[in-house]
Structure 1
Amino acid sequence: MTEQHGPETAPGYAARRRRGGIVAFVVGLAATLAFFAFFPGMPHVIDWGAVLVSLTVGTLARAGCRAWMAKEAEKKRISHL
């Protein structure tokens, strides 16, 4: 069994990845809700559609952040070889 040595196996990597995903989700959710609440011409009412879209955008932001962090970890792993 081979053991990997790199940034993705370093202590705290999972915590940083989880924390980054949470922050990305909250920022995506808040930004989308703010858009629906304050964009000129909108009815300025947060309905269930706006909440669902905000949750979807938050989830996509989280997935994008996690993919970006994994790509960066892979770059660091390759550069350490």
Structure 2
Amino acid sequence: MTEQHGSDTGPRYAARRRRGGIVSFVVGLVATLAFFAFFPGMPHVIDWGAVLASLAVGALARAGCRAWMAKEAEKEGKRIGHF
């Protein structure tokens, strides 16, 4: 039998990681789109470059959030699966 180290392991932790990844992706995406849309001195047009940059920033935010969550789980001694 496997021992669970807390109430935040297994499916609950996986759901928390998934939710955190989704939220961080959306925040990175929206923040970057808002930057390109409202930053003074830039054309106020969202072009394909801005969309691709926003997707890249969202993906980086998601990866950063998941890495941070994995690091925190390791500190607490929780077992986690692969990304």
TM-score normalised over the length of structure 1:
0.86
CA RMSD, Structure 1 to Structure 2 (Å): 1.8
Question: Measured at CA, do residues 63 and 4 of structure 1 come closer, stay the same or move farther in structure 2, by a change above 3 Å?
Answer: farther
Normalized per residue, the structure richer in helix is 1
Match of residue 77 from structure 1:
77
Aligned-residue offset at 1:10? 3.7
Percent same amino acid among aligned pairs? 78
Task: Note the C-alpha offset of 1:6.
Answer: 3.3
Structure 1 residue runs of 4 or more that deviate by more than 3 Å after TM superposition = 2-11
Q: Which runs of 5+ in 1 are unaligned?
A: none
- Report what 1:9 is aligned to: 9
1:46 matched to 2:56? The reply is no
Larger relative contact order (Cα-Cα within 8 Å, sequence gap ≥ 6)? 1
Against the structure 1 CA distance between its residues 64 and 4, is the aligned structure 2 distance closer, same or farther, given a 3 Å change threshold? Answer: farther
Greater mean deviation of Cα atoms: 44-53 or 3-12: 3-12
Give the alignment's TM-score, normalised by structure 2.
0.84
Provide the rounded CA distance (Å) in 1 between the counterparts of 2:5 and 2:45: 48
Structure 2 unmatched runs, 5+? 79-83
